[in-house]
Chains A and B, each alone.
Chain A
């Protein structure tokens, strides 16, 4: 089974900071990776799919990159509404297993 790890698990940042979160897969998953944002008490929200495609309606300060085993989510200028937990999800293999990474909490410094 493909396992996902995320780093860091916790990140303290200020408004306006550039933030990068890394997701690593235990095996190559091509570009079958998605990123989600979750705020307390809410369902996750899809931000990025196919590793780098921005979901409709998501601000352009969010971007994704990578393929194979290493992926990054970047927030170019952190906004107050971006303080949340971020998860990666792999969608690879056939039939696909939609496993999640452990999450990265972005908190206010």
Chain B
């Protein structure tokens, strides 16, 4: 059973870059889309983007100019960088695994990132 765990700072200052890492255990980073999804407090889910196991990426157009997702297969990790953050980027950030045919099947527990000075 694959497990995903988010890690990174819980507090980021406005205008700085939010950086999170997702560590995958119980399976390798292959044959799946590896996504980042966020949820502002009291609001709905927002898909941020994914990296395919081959290394190709695709991002939510509304965030595309600020997002970078990368993968380190040697560490079985993938990462999110979101630049120029504001208070509107305060959210629980989830990493997840899925496919286009079968949906997003596996999720991390989520990590709250607050943007504040």
Contact = CB atoms under 8 A, between A and B. Distances in A.
Interface of A: 1, 32, 34, 36, 38, 43-46, 48-50, 53, 55, 85, 87, 89, 91-92, 95-103
* Best-surrounded residue of A43, A44, A85, A89 (most CB of chain B within 10 A): A43
B107 A98 contact: no
Contact of A87 (B33, B44, B102): B44
A51 to B, nearest CB: 10
Q: Is the interface of A mostly helix, strand, loop or mixed?
A: loop
* Best-surrounded residue of B37, B45, B110 (most CB of chain A within 10 A): B45
B78 interface: no
Interface residues of B, number: 26
Contact of A91 (B94, B103, B107, B110): B103
Q: Is the interface of B mostly helix, strand, loop or mixed?
A: strand
Contacts of A49: 101-103
Interface of B: 33, 35, 37, 44-47, 50, 52, 56, 58, 60-61, 94, 96, 98, 100-105, 107-110
Contacts of A95: 52, 56, 58
A89 B60 contact: no
B104 A34 contact: yes
Contacts of A92: 100
